Structure 1
Amino acid sequence: MQLHRERKEEGVMAMATMREMPRSPEAKLGMRVEDLWDVQEAQLSPNDKLNACFENIPVSAFPLPAKNQEIEIKSDATLAEAVKILARHNILSAPVVDVDAPEDATWIDRYIGIVEFAGIVVWILHQSEPPSPRSPSTPTSASAIAAAANGNTFARELEALGLGSAATTSGNFFEDLTSSELYKNTKVQDISGTFRWAPFLALERSNSFLTMLLLLSKYKMKSVPVVDLGSGTIDNIITQPAVIHMLAECAGLQWFESWGTKELSDVGLPLVTPKQIIKVYEDEPVLQAFKEMRKKRVGGVPVIKRGGTTAVGNISLRDVQFLLTAPEIYHDYRTITVKDFLTSVRSYLEKNKNAFPMSSEFITCKRDCTVKELIQLLDKEQIHRVYVVDDDGNLEGLITLRDIISRLVHEPHGYFGDFFDGVLPLPANSRV
């Protein structure tokens, strides 16, 4: 009882302070939601009120990142060049510009998609898998892309690297790969339409916050570009972490407190149950763990000690960037295990303070945690997932950024109408 009283008093004080001077652009945006919240019809449920508020705010109001970097990658850039660009600017993904598009092209013709670290590596991992036994005479998608991009030499490079073997898990795999012609010559446009690639779906500045939140949650987009129709260029890119940061900055406002002070179970979290959580053992080869994530279509997994039941770490698809940007972390290993990989990454980050701001730490919370506390934890640690555990450390569920956003809003019946009709069709080689 005392804890809830203290939370309420803190909320009242924070709200008064924010009214006097918003502490950030995100908090100012939260006050805009607050003003709309106060004038909503009384008969509306809290969820419907939030929907109505977000529907009345355009995405153009979403603050730009503190360091607004309008980084774009050209379609004829190689995978090696794309990785260097992403690493140099400390970003996970970037829009791809079609170099063959005319100068007066509209945004839908100018951009062909978004490339990200995870997408590049997932494509690479696919090359290490054998072709389907049902079609032994049919070229793999890798061979088809190879032939189209660089002819038979490229295809032979795949074979020379041993990429047809699913058992390829040694550290030398990525070391050989990053120095190979395959990695140096494959262009970003050659892997468009595969795995995590999707048609370039963007919002116009006048589209609503509600549309953006639904795309990031129910429709599973990691980021939503906002385009300026006048110039045909990207005005902003709104990500799931950016939305979570915005929510964290709204602590103390009435609309946020009425939702955020609820315990996880009160809003239907966690969505992922213990039986649904994909796990890996710490003594498994890390490359095999990444393949398992790709196979199961999950972005991260807890690491379990062999013979135990509690988690000792976390590994995500985002971490595979280190296999491309910092091969020295596994240079001395013949076969790097999940445990060794996490240890090496941790050591690498400690020595390189300007490395990618990324955490492989295992972050947990309890079931009685509030939504507000969880949002603040995710924002502070800059992570994408939190594991729910009991008092003994046993897994009770998993909560991602997408899960939280999905609990904030809901899709009204027929809301999108023909919204998706203008989206470019998936490329013929799409595996999304």
Structure 2
Amino acid sequence: MDSPPGSARSSPEAEVGLRVEDLWDIQEPQLSPSEKLNSCFESMPVSSFPLAPSSQVVEIPSDSSLADAVETLSKNKILSAPVRNMEAPENASWIDRYLGIVEFAGIAVWLLHQSEVAAQGMIAGSDATTEAADGLAAKLGTVTLETATFVEAHGGVMAKSAPEAAVSMGGSFFETLTSSDFYKNTKVRDISGSFRWAPFLALQNSDSFLTMLLLLSKYRMKSLPVVDLGEAKIDNIITQSAVVHMLAECVGLHWFEDWGTKKLLELGLPLMRPNKVVKVSEEEPVLKAFQLMRKRRIGGLPVVDGSGNKAIANLTIRDVQYLLTSPEIYKAYRSITAKDFVTSVKKYFEEHQDASPMLMNVITCNRDDTIKDIILKLDAEKRQRIYVVDKEDNLEGVITLRDIISRLVHEPHGYFGDFFDGVVPLPQNSRV
């Protein structure tokens, strides 16, 4: 593959690559290529990383409602933001000043979970669970009539599971949920620790690229705010996608080619084998796909055809946002399938040309491709994952941005030391 169009070694990302090149050339000759890269990235401060657009460096107050948070994220066209603890004193440390990072998808999945809780209460039969469901229904206000109708219509099917019940309620229930006072009054701080909520782990400008890369790969952070302790503000937010874009701009440089021309198999990719890939059939309810992502703590999965071996679409946890921002997609369905959901979203894009499409078509590669091929394809398509297929297009595995970064660097023994001291441990359900 050729260098990315327009890359003339003048972009901020390419300048980073040239700096790595200079450091690469002066490394000790006895070092392995992997050790050389580690040494280069350890020598570079995070302050050298290109700044994200100012519209992406956004904070959400902890006392914002879920509705306000969604509006802020949508307005700035970002998927996540740090949550500022409005109850923290002015002289609080950075750890105490922020509750964590909330994602658009996390809010949607949390709300979806509330519908499951209500459905479970309606079918469980225990007084305690029913009481809990009644309490939730009361909070939802106008949903009470909907749930009553559901119970009456399905009274003879008490063996139905909670997820199936939530699916049966369809878009009408969820649309009512997102228009309720419950949605408008619940504060962002109230969902702290929920799905895809990470604690606030900030970098300082003096931290190294190696630290940043390890946190985004081995330690599974989706994004990292960079703080200026002196001015008490966030200077930058670095994401996995931004790192992969930087790598795409470094094509042609000696250090990159030494690493990037290796085939997937040489780098031990894909990490996720076909029998381990979480997937959903095209005829299964799309809600099952989002529930699987939540249960398995993954960011996306393929929609497969009847054979179960060929991917026909790609769903990510971000796509659950259409249940919030575009409820009309769901309005006509009681149990929309994954296939029909994809079709409906694509049709919505065609009718709302001002919308930013979240492409759902599958991008693939094979084991003979190089890591450079993969990086350029992911960066060009603005994707988080690519599926590895054989000559018959059968799934062989999946590669994510995190997998790529994890093959760029390695963690030296005892590298982080006490770096994580004082940091709230990652909630188990945020590791996706």
Same fold at TM > 0.5: yes
Q: CA deviation at 1:233?
A: 1.5
Q: Does 1:198 align with 2:198?
A: yes
Over 3 Å counting, the alpha-carbon distance change for 1:157 and 1:334 in structure 2 is closer
Q: Does 1:168 align with 2:166?
A: yes
Q: CA deviation at 1:275?
A: 0.5
The whole-number CA distance in structure 1 between the counterparts of 2:84 and 2:291 is: 29
User: Alignment length, in residue pairs?
Assistant: 409
Over 3 Å counting, the alpha-carbon distance change for 1:282 and 1:32 in structure 2 is same
Secondary structure of 1:421's partner? coil
Over 3 Å counting, the alpha-carbon distance change for 1:360 and 1:152 in structure 2 is closer
Instruction: Give the letter aligned to residue 319 of structure 1.
Output: D
Is the CA contact 1:161–1:177 (under 8 Å) kept in the aligned structure 2?
no
Aligned to 1:177: 177
Considering only aligned residues, what root-mean-square deviation do their CA atoms show, in Å? 2.9
The whole-number CA distance in structure 1 between the counterparts of 2:367 and 2:328 is: 40
The whole-number CA distance in structure 2 between the counterparts of 1:72 and 1:344 is: 33
Instruction: Give the letter aligned to residue 406 of structure 1.
Output: S
Q: CA deviation at 1:197?
A: 1.7
The whole-number CA distance in structure 1 between the counterparts of 2:145 and 2:228 is: 46
Aligned to 1:422: 422
Secondary structure of 1:422's partner? coil
The whole-number CA distance in structure 2 between the counterparts of 1:426 and 1:298 is: 15
The whole-number CA distance in structure 2 between the counterparts of 1:371 and 1:265 is: 10
Aligned to 2:154: none
Gaps of 5+ in 1: 1-6
Q: Does 1:38 align with 2:25?
A: yes
1:154 to 139, 142, 165: 139
Instruction: Give the letter aligned to residue 350 of structure 1.
Output: E
The whole-number CA distance in structure 1 between the counterparts of 2:357 and 2:406 is: 25
Q: Does 1:309 align with 2:309?
A: yes
Aligned to 1:268: 268
CA-to-partner distance for each residue in 1:129-154, whole Å, 9 max, x for gaps?
Answer: 447x99x78889x969x99xxx9953
Task: Tell me which moved more, 154-163 or 259-268.
Answer: 154-163
The whole-number CA distance in structure 2 between the counterparts of 1:426 and 1:218 is: 13
Task: Tell me which moved more, 120-129 or 242-251.
Answer: 120-129
Q: CA deviation at 1:160?
A: 6.9
1:80 to 40, 56, 67: 67
Aligned to 1:405: 405
Aligned to 1:323: 323
Q: CA deviation at 1:358?
A: 2.4
Aligned to 2:87: 100
Aligned to 1:3: none
Q: CA deviation at 1:71?
A: 1.6
Over 3 Å counting, the alpha-carbon distance change for 1:48 and 1:395 in structure 2 is same
Q: Does 1:187 align with 2:204?
A: no
Aligned to 2:221: 221
TM-score when normalising by structure 2 = 0.87
Aligned to 2:42: 55
Secondary structure of 1:271's partner? coil
Task: Tell me which moved more, 62-71 or 162-171.
Answer: 162-171
Secondary structure of 1:408's partner? coil
Aligned to 1:334: 334
Task: Tell me which moved more, 164-173 or 267-276.
Answer: 164-173
Over 3 Å counting, the alpha-carbon distance change for 1:263 and 1:152 in structure 2 is closer
Instruction: Give the letter aligned to residue 60 of structure 1.
Output: S
CA-to-partner distance for each residue in 1:332-362, whole Å, 9 max, x for gaps?
Answer: 2232211111111112223334423522111
CA-to-partner distance for each residue in 1:223-252, whole Å, 9 max, x for gaps?
Answer: 011110112211111000000000000001
Q: CA deviation at 1:116?
A: 0.6
Over 3 Å counting, the alpha-carbon distance change for 1:424 and 1:118 in structure 2 is same
The whole-number CA distance in structure 2 between the counterparts of 1:391 and 1:370 is: 16
The whole-number CA distance in structure 2 between the counterparts of 1:304 and 1:321 is: 22
Aligned to 1:4: none
Secondary structure of 1:262's partner? coil
CA-to-partner distance for each residue in 1:278-331, whole Å, 9 max, x for gaps?
Answer: 110111111122111111222111111234531111111110011111111222
Q: CA deviation at 1:159?
A: 7.2
Gaps of 5+ in 2: 151-160
Q: Does 1:113 align with 2:100?
A: yes
Q: CA deviation at 1:171?
A: 1.9
Q: CA deviation at 1:157?
A: 8.0
Is the CA contact 2:195–2:294 (under 8 Å) kept in the aligned structure 1?
no
